[in-house]
Amino acid sequence: MRRLFSPAILVCIGLLLAGCGSPPPLVSDRYLNDTSLITGDPCSAPCFQNITVGKTTFADALTLIRHNALFRDVQSQDNPPQAAWNAANGEQCCQMTANPQTGIVDALLIRVAPVMTVGDVIAKYGEPPYVSVLPQDYSETETALGLIYPKQGNVLWVVPGNAQSTLDATDPVVIVLYLNPAEFDKLLETAQLSGWLGYVSVAEYRAAPPIITPRVTPTPN
């Protein structure tokens, strides 16, 4: 099972980029078909499938995952506590970590099929206070922007296309990162983030001066 980075690292680099070879695509119907971020069913962020980041224990979360018909092929370990699993009819979609000292879930990363859009998210939660921009493209055909919602504890990675593309309301959400809203101030200390500029080009987001710069250098778990 691939080791997860700490939540702070996830906020800064955004994606678990492959260490070698071609990375899996960001946009794929083989990931989890899930719109719970928008519908609030069965629970609302920072809760996912009845697992609440910052409250649910790792043991209880594993039980919920293993008994959920949406998932299969759960892999887990206790030291450090982390798990990964697949969508029931698709590929590996999901990863989870917990605090080794408390045993409480501290991060959930969910790769989702392209069924939610930027417009859906903004209609539900409003414009994001912060945007994270990867300094490099994910692949030749895909780049990503992170829409950051501290109140909900979410970092949402969306794909406008390649580096020459412009963000649009119809662009898909491809990764939903659930974090503990109570810990977001600490996480933002490690991040360099822009403000929301609206539906402009990826190049404009990359050129925009940051409104938050790192005050603390994150280290991997």
Residue 179 CA to residue 45 CA, distance in Å, equals: 9
Q: Residue 58, SS3?
A: helix
Count of other CB atoms within 10 angstroms of residue 35: 14
Count of other CB atoms within 10 angstroms of residue 124: 16
Residue the block writes with tokens 């990363």: 109
- Cβ contact 36:48 at 8 Å: yes
- Cβ contact 190:119 at 8 Å: no
For residue 192, pLDDT beyond 70: yes
pLDDT at residue number 29 = 97
pLDDT in tens, 48-95: 999 999 999 999 999 999 999 999 999 999 988 999 999 999 999 999
For residue 19, pLDDT beyond 50: no
Backbone CA torsion sign across 193, 196, 197, 198: positive
Give 22's pLDDT tier (boundaries 50, 70, 90). low
Residue 137 CA to residue 15 CA, distance in Å, equals: 11
pLDDT in tens, 162-176: 999 999 999 999 999
